[in-house]
Amino acid sequence: MKTPRVGLVVVALAVAFIARAAEPAPARYRDPAAPLEARVQDLVSRLTLEEKASLMQNTTAGVPRLGIPKYDWWNESLHGVARAGEATVFPQAIGMAAMWDPALMHDIARAIGVEARAKFNGAVGTKNEGARYYGLTFWTPNINIFRDPRWGRGQETYGEDPWLTARTGVAFVRGLQGDDPRHLLAAACAKHFAVHSGPEPLRHNFDVAPSPEDFHDVYLPAFEALVREGRVEAVMTAYNAVYGNPAATSPILYALLAKWGFDGHVTSDCGAIADLSRSYKVAPDDAGAEALALKAGLNVRCGDEPTQLVAAVKRGDIAEAEIDYRLGALLRTQFRLGFYDPAASVPFSQIAPTENMAPAHTELALRAARESMVLLKNDGTLPLDASKLKRVAVIGPSADSVTVLLGNYNGAPHAPVTILAGLRAALPGMQVDYAQGCDYATMPGGARPIPRTGLRFGEYTGLMGDYFANAKLEGAPVVQRRDRPVSFDFAKDKAPRGVPTENFSARWQGNLITTVAGEYRLSVKARGGVRLELDGKRLIDAWTPGEKTQTATVKLPGDGVLPIKLEYFADGVGAVSLEWELPDAASGYAEALALAAKADAIVYVGGISAQLEGEEMKVDYEGFRGGDRTAIELPAVQQKLLEQLRAIGKPLVFVNLSGSAVAFPWADANVNAILQAWYPGQAAGTAVADVILGKYNPAGRLPVTFYRATADLPAFEDYTMAAGHTYRFFKGKPLYAFGHGLSYTSFNYANLRVESDKLGALCVSVEVTNAGSRDGEEVVQLYAVPPAARENQALCGFARLALKAGEKKTVTIAVPATALRRWSAAKDDYAIPSGEWTIRAGASSADVRATAKVTF
């Protein structure tokens, strides 16, 4: 009886063995032990042409049959994970550059990477899985050189100096990408390659042709450092052209990446490939533009236009083998991020959603905000002695604003602290009065469409519009899109794809953002019916056919964030415009002056905001255009208020918030103290209060030059550095020099020593003594002056060190040859100019404490 059973068992085992043997081996691209390139090629070989094309745009649906996930390559983390809900918000990039602290920058970027993974891991199985801004490929840092303070996007950079930009940028990339030998924590992207710094309104067709020396000594070094040292995973090309070729197709730029050993992927900026056919006319159509860019070296295209790569292959513009090669680099990044590995083998897959906004990150944001503060002037008024104060007046458009703290490309902080709130928390029991006083600047009178900066949906500017293919707002919307502004006439403007020009309706929702308190005139001009609600109240109800202009007057607060809803149906060809007329910018003077007169001290918090300076945007305020500034002076409405506050005769502290240099020579000559706070992030109020009241001794240093007037600047469109751009080439006297920053203590320098080696590197040491009675930090700065120099001097090294009162330390700074090399047009290569060099050590580019000579 037992024998048959044994036979059955043997047969069953044999069948099972044969069945297992017949199972296909796991795909090689799924094998973590296989070489990376073999895995990439295996995956590419399994894709159809249509699938390959679909994967080479920023928004992809994935390929489910192969386990390629839905994914969007566009994600932002300039100073914290952005546009993906709540996150820790650090100071804006220009503020982090003012820390002059690469080690802290590394830690900040590491925290951002951890929060990115927390969000990415937490999105699995939710509607955010694979969605834009919940990915791991971040289009940051912006390492363009901030050569002119009028550029609106300069706030996103690390300043005007190539060496400071490179050191800060490398630290950020290394922190964000992590140090695991197999997997990236997240992927960084160096942008905008390579010569790009405004003007914003011209960026889609502007051609830049710098001198060879400027190209190699100013505009390229940071990119080279991030590729060679930082091993940055991605590079984004600029919109503009360089030496006659659009950057997205520039053979010069792609050749440089190859020379530097770049092995990541290249992305276009959004819409830049469409520019090839529409602005630059170097391609016949979108298909030709895509093919041209990929053949040049691009790997992924950002844009709303459907991919035309399949059509390009069919008509012979590009071979499928070329697409395979470019797609391989793109997939390689996903492999490095662990997309095709078992989760257990990817260390970062264990980061829990609770790591977002971890307490340690909150502390890091406060430390960064403190370190970013730059004390520009102090006649001894700061720090304020709280024991001698009974009443403080806090005045100005930035004093109680959350929006201004965040800059642009920002996340949403959980518990932001405004400067007013910070001062009130630091002065318990004291009367701290507040008045806005005025708006940031003056807007021309009359009604005009509400600009993108006056509207917000979630974390985006503008309102979200739902468009319906009927006049009754019924059924599901046929199109959803963000409109900024809500102002169009389909008789002359292009309707959204899928929306009829007639017989349609739409509903826009979001928030109205106000910057000054007072009476607003809100109006809707329309060809058809309209309804407008603000903060839950119906202001306009004209749901009838015909052309109309409906107006409502309403009193609104300064820095308001008010829910708004506009509904519309078209009567004939659609046309609607949501408009406003603002209160007088100076309408709050009287209240502010009355409070200031009763105070023992006045803190004025003003400057500008990222709603005025930024990326290619319509701005109606005087002194601003297209995201840039036409004048760098403190806006007149604030200047006038500041003068009247000073006339009261009380101690006056000016806290300036801006992402760029503001010219205020009158304030420098007349107010008691000036603190440059940038856009300091979620911990702004605490950090500012800590500096003003002496809890923290400021040690931030300027990463840009503060000029005295717009008249001191060369033409904005002139990229020639010798025209007078930045401290390296400016011949005039600045208001505040590059590297400037005061302390509540003083530092002495002695015994500067410089040693050189045969390769051109230097070892520089200097003794620094804290000669004051307070503990503090000093940023030791080294500047090099080459023989027969075309520039004034150039930063070649720095170190931030803490010293207790009376303490002395010797700081040693290694200066590599790359910090001293200069481009030689004669050699068509870099070389260290021979002859006698001067090495300067000091507290700023204008405050030299010791010099030494060295000969090469």
Question: If you search the block for the tokens 């939710």, which residue do you land on?
Answer: 126
- What are the tokens at 611? 């709603």
Burial tier of 852 (Cβ tally within 10 Å: 0-12, 13-18, 19+): middle
Angle of helix 636-647 relative to helix 589-598, nearest 10 degrees, comes to 30
**Strands of 716-832, DSSP E:** 747-756, 762-770, 776-785, 794-803, 808-815, 822-824, 829-831
Torsion from C-alpha of 25, 27, 33, 39, nearest 10 degrees: 150
Which value, in Å, is the radius of gyration of the alpha carbons in the chain? 29
Catalytic residue among 224, 269, 567, 620: 269
Query: In the chain, what's the furthest Cα-to-Cα distance?
Result: 114
Q: Nearest CA to 726 among 717, 710, 715, 737?
A: 737
Q: Nearest CA to 238 among 264, 280, 269?
A: 269
**Strands of 175-242, DSSP E:** 189-193, 207-208, 234-237, 241-242
| Cα separations in angstroms, 606 against 25, 338, 435, 679, 737 | 66, 46, 12, 11, 21
Q: How many CA atoms lie within 13 A of 472 on its CB side?
A: 2
| Cα separations in angstroms, 773 against 380, 422, 769, 778 | 14, 26, 12, 14
Q: Nearest CA to 526 among 504, 556, 558, 499?
A: 504
- What are the tokens at 577? 């415009």
Q: Determine contact, residues 267/189, Cβ cutoff 8 Å.
A: yes
Burial tier of 822 (Cβ tally within 10 Å: 0-12, 13-18, 19+): middle
Whether 269 sits among the annotated catalytic residues: the reply is yes
Q: Nearest CA to 509 among 570, 455, 451?
A: 455
- What are the tokens at 181? 């030998």
What's the chain's length in residues? 856
Question: If you search the block for the tokens 């390009």, which residue do you land on?
Answer: 312
Q: How far apart are CA 338 and CA 332, in angstroms?
A: 10
Q: Nearest CA to 122 among 355, 346, 335?
A: 355
- Secondary structure of 353-371 in HEC code, one letter for each residue: HHHCCCHHHHHHHHHHHHH
Catalytic amino acids?
269, 613
